[in-house]
């Protein structure tokens, strides 16, 4: 019998990883050793695994640099319209493997490191995640950067270089504990500081109105230092830029501004200014009105707009010479996309520049601003909408407040003319919310100041038009669009699931990686036994690999033949991890009641971070771990049911768990999840979905056929009807014995014997003020889960359903999403053509 292939030999056979030419491998080895010696100043005898990672990263980065310079040169020569994606979050994860995939270097690097006696996967594991985001919104920005480069758009991502990203989550005695994410501790080989493009940003001060214009004076100045990270397109030689700003105190800053007596204290106080880029706010779908956060929002916007206008004026490569003076053509050359309301200050800031600095009239400036800016809405949850207190604004950004007041005056004048005497409508539509404390409604500012407003899935865009922003839709219907989210198939298939990518490529070729709609041609293999077997085998391999990972990292043993039932996402009441908990308890009670029945074994995995200040979310984590303690130690249940809390869920863990999942839990209350993107990742990686008709689940069911998803629960119209009638949790509790049993166990201390009323807050919430109506969907969810268990027993039918799902994934590529943004919002044309590779003997 031939001996089994090693992991490295298996990887070598995967063609989507690129060719490993002999010259390539030799050159990579030479460059690796050169970097180890000259860049890292290390001898092979004393080098650590981390040194080897850095040597490999620099070796791969060398392949980016020529293309990066060439791409930027290409843009200067062609002078295309440029798009600026402004986001407070870019959840990038690791860069090394993604770069190798997009440059077709993966097999060559694997072979080179192997010949050097190293294991490439071990080196990849040395890289820190760039966790500069909370969840969906930040990860979407990262996928968009990949697609914009792949589609040849002259695009720039602009954000903040947080010194500390999303916290690392530890679970101690079942409770979440946060740890600072010091991701830059060992340096970041992918970024390049650009001190020559440092920009001043102003805060505080006062406004002077003179006959010759308006001046914002006596301000405090902070410097914004840019760090550039290359963003390679997929095998097209294009490398775009993500530019992240870091806060620096100017040298003269403190003595002058703070009138500090001592020199030492003045130097120490530089920290205060530099705190702006210190840490990412860890809230997902929740607004926290802190001054530091408003400073961050203005900081990124002010630095970025200076950069945009500098680049617009100097259109020669490497030249600072002013070529364009007429800013009325700005919208022909610049598109600014606002990722949620966080960068909303771009609207008043652009107005300030055009009026105060460039001396344009209000009407001209406003026309330019509206035609340049577009706004993406990401949530309809009221607690997530940004509403900044006016007094905070007045103090921090006095000129911007004046501009917002004037925008509002003109806006309300227009509404008044359209609806004479309708004072309630004026109140509803104002950018300034009156009441106890006057507040600026940032979403209203974005809608009024943009030429396009989009939701992120069809159902979400409809909700926006019908309810949340209906008044605005009534006056400007042409502004409102839908752009259903997508994910990059490079990271979320080729990179994280090469086995599946290869099985697909063997049937339909490799072009689908650039054009995911080609997956629909897999439908012709839905009855092909060999294909069905291949798909099932890849899944089983991924499950075994993940089981090994769990055992190595967390010392938990799981049954790889059980169904992997996975819910990974931020912990939030609207995402209803509690509904999942109720199913676990119900399943547990049923197994205990009939231990001899042939139950479908399940390993239920739940993972995700809770915002540090979100008490209920932290209690939910404790409940999940408490249920796990009971279930996992019950010998009657054995390995027919296991509950695992996946600690520190992040991009890198997603890349491991998603390819291994059988069942994807997407169970938010209908009308609350704007889109979801994890749902798409599971679908593309061969998991089946149990979900409500919410967010992009609706379109997933449309694409794959509703019969190929496990859809349950209330639709939006049912939720609305229940709201009208009044949701009464007690009615369900009294009517459904298994629900009552589960709730009584939680409240009676069955899962917390040492502290019987540990979960009283959760029970009280579920019984008395559950905005998300967990009990209303319980019965249908349990019944739907029974169908899941039944189908899982029939591997062939299950796998055929999986194939229908993978074949229906084409729409959910971020390439499709970005193509629509480009054509329908930015006025740009995507292109799949390659540009010439730089004169690089290693260019492939």
681 carries an active-site annotation: yes
pLDDT of residue 227: 98
Longest dimension (CA), the chain: 92
User: What torsion, rounded to 10 degrees, do the Cα atoms 501, 506, 508, 512 define?
Assistant: 30
pLDDT of residue 284: 85
Asked if 430 contacts 447 with a C-beta cutoff of 8 angstroms, the reply is no
In whole angstroms, give the CA distance from residue 44 to residue 52: 9
834 carries an active-site annotation: no
Check 372, 484, 677, 799 and give the catalytic one.
677
C-alpha pair distances (Å), 535 with each of 399, 541, 707, 768: 60, 10, 20, 46
Element containing residue 674 per DSSP (H, E): none
In whole angstroms, give the CA distance from residue 446 to residue 348: 10
pLDDT of residue 256: 57
Q: Whole-model pTM above 0.75?
A: yes
C-alpha pair distances (Å), 219 with each of 204, 310, 411: 5, 22, 29
CA angle 458, 464, 468 (to 5 degrees): 155
484 carries an active-site annotation: no
Q: Each residue of 667-706: b (16+ CB within 10 Å) or e?
A: bbbbbbbbbbbbbbbbbbbbbbbbbbbbbbbbbbbebbee
Check 139, 161, 681, 811 and give the catalytic one.
681
The mean of the pLDDT values for the chain is 95
Check 161, 575, 602, 622 and give the catalytic one.
575
Bridge partners, residue 246, by sequence: 225
Q: 710-711 and 688-691 as β-strands: parallel, antiparallel, unpaired? A: parallel
Check 248, 254, 570, 650 and give the catalytic one.
570
575 carries an active-site annotation: yes
pLDDT of residue 285: 81
* pLDDT < 70 positions in the chain: 1-5, 253-261, 315-322, 839-844
Asked if 413 contacts 334 with a C-beta cutoff of 8 angstroms, the reply is no
In whole angstroms, give the CA distance from residue 758 to residue 747: 8
In whole angstroms, give the CA distance from residue 91 to residue 649: 13
Backbone angles phi, psi at 752, to 5 degrees: -145, 65
Check 58, 514, 569, 609 and give the catalytic one.
569
Check 378, 479, 773, 811 and give the catalytic one.
378
Contacts of 750 (CB under 8 A, 6+ apart): 630
C-alpha pair distances (Å), 181 with each of 130, 276, 306, 812: 9, 16, 30, 31
pLDDT of residue 14: 77
């Amino acid at each position: 019998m031939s001996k089994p292939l090693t992991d490295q030999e298996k990887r070598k056979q995967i063609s989507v990883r690129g060719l490993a030419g002999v010259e390539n491998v030799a050159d990579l080895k030479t460059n690796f050793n050169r970097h180890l010696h000259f860049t890292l100043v290390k001898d092979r005898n004393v080098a650590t695994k981390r040194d080897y990672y850095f040597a490999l990263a620099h070796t791969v980065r060398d392949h980016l640099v020529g293309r990066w310079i060439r791409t930027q040169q290409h843009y200067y020569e062609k002078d295309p319209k440029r798009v600026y994606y402004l986001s407070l979050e870019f959840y990038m994860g690791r860069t090394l493997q993604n770069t190798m995939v997009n440059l077709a270097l993966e097999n060559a690097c694997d072979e080179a490191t192997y010949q050097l006696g190293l294991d490439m996967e071990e080196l990849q594991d040395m890289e820190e995640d760039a966790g500069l985001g909370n969840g969906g919104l930040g990860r979407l920005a990262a996928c968009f950067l990949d697609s914009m480069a792949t589609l040849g758009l002259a695009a720039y991502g602009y954000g903040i270089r947080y010194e500390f990203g999303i916290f690392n989550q530890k679970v101690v005695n079942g409770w979440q504990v946060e740890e600072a994410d010091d991701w830059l501790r060992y340096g970041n080989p992918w970024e390049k500081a650009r001190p020559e493009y440092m920009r001043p940003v102003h805060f505080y001060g006062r406004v002077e109105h003179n006959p010759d214009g308006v001046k914002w004076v006596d301000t405090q100045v902070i410097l914004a230092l840019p760090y550039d990270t290359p963003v390679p397109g997929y095998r097209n030689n294009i490398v775009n830029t993500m530019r992240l700003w870091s806060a620096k105190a100017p040298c003269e800053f403190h003595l002058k501004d703070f009138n500090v007596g001592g020199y030492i204290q003045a130097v120490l106080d530089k920290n205060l200014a530099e705190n702006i880029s210190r840490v990412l706010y860890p809230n997902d779908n929740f607004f926290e009105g802190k001054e530091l956060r408003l400073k961050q929002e203005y900081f990124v916007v002010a630095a970025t707009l200076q950069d945009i206008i500098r680049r617009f004026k100097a259109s020669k490569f490497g030249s600072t010479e002013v070529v364009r003076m007429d800013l009325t053509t700005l919208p022909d050359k610049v598109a600014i996309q606002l990722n949620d309301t966080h960068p909303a200050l771009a609207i008043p800031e652009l107005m300030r520049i055009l009026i105060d600095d460039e001396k344009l009239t209000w009407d001209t400036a406003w026309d330019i601003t509206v035609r340049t800016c577009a706004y993406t809405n990401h949530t309809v949850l009221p607690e997530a909408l940004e509403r900044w207190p006016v007094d905070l604004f007045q103090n921090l950004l006095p000129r911007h407040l004046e501009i917002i007041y004037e925008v509002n005056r003109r806006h309300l004048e227009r509404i008044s003319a359209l609806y004479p005497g309708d004072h309630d409508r004026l109140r509803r539509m104002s950018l300034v919310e009156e009441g106890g404390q006057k507040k600026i409604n940032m979403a209203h500012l974005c809608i009024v100041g943009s030429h396009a407003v989009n939701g992120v899935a069809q159902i979400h865009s409809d909700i926006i038009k019908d309810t949340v922003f209906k008044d605005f839709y009534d006056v400007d219907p042409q502004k409102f669009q839908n752009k259903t989210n997508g994910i990059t198939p490079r990271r979320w298939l080729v990179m994280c699931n090469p086995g599946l990518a290869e099985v697909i490529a063997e049937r339909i070729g490799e072009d689908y990686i650039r054009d995911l709609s080609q997956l629909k041609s897999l439908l012709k293999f839905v009855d092909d036994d060999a294909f069905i077997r291949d798909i099932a085998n890849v899944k089983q391999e991924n499950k075994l690999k993940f089981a090994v990972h769990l055992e190595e990292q967390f010392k938990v043993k799981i049954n790889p033949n059980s169904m992997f039932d996975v819910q990974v996402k931020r912990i939030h009441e609207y995402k209803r991890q509690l509904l999942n908990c109720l199913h676990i308890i119900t399943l547990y009670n049923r197994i205990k009641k009939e231990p001899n029945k042939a139950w479908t074994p399940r390993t239920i995995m739940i993972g995700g971070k809770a915002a540090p200040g979100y008490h209920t979310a932290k209690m939910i984590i404790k409940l999940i771990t408490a249920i796990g303690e009971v279930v996992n130690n019950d010998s009657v249940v054995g390995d027919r049911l296991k509950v695992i809390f996946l600690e520190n869920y992040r991009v890198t863990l997603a890349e491991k768990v998603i390819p291994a999942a059988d069942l994807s839990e997407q169970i938010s209350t209908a009308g609350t999840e704007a889109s979801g993107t994890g749902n798409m990742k599971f679908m593309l990686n061969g998991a089946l979905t149990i979900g409500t008709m919410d967010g992009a689940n609706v379109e997933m069911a449309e694409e794959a056929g509703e019969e190929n998803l496990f859809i349950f629960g209330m639709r939006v119209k049912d939720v609305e009807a229940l709201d009208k009638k009044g949701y009464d949790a007690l009615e369900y509790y009294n009517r459904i014995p298994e629900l009552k049993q589960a709730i009584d166990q939680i409240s009676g201390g069955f899962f917390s014997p040492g502290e019987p009323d540990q979960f009283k807050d959760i029970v009280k919430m579920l019984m008395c003020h559950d905005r998300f109506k967990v009990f209303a969907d319980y019965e249908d969810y349990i019944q739907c889960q029974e169908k899941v268990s039944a189908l899982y027993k029939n591997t062939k039918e299950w796998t055929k359903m999986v194939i229908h799902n993978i074949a229906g994934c084409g729409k959910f590529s971020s390439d499709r999403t970005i193509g629509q943004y480009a054509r329908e919002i930015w006025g740009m044309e995507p292109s799949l053509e390659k540009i010439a590779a730089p004169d690089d003997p290693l260019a492939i």
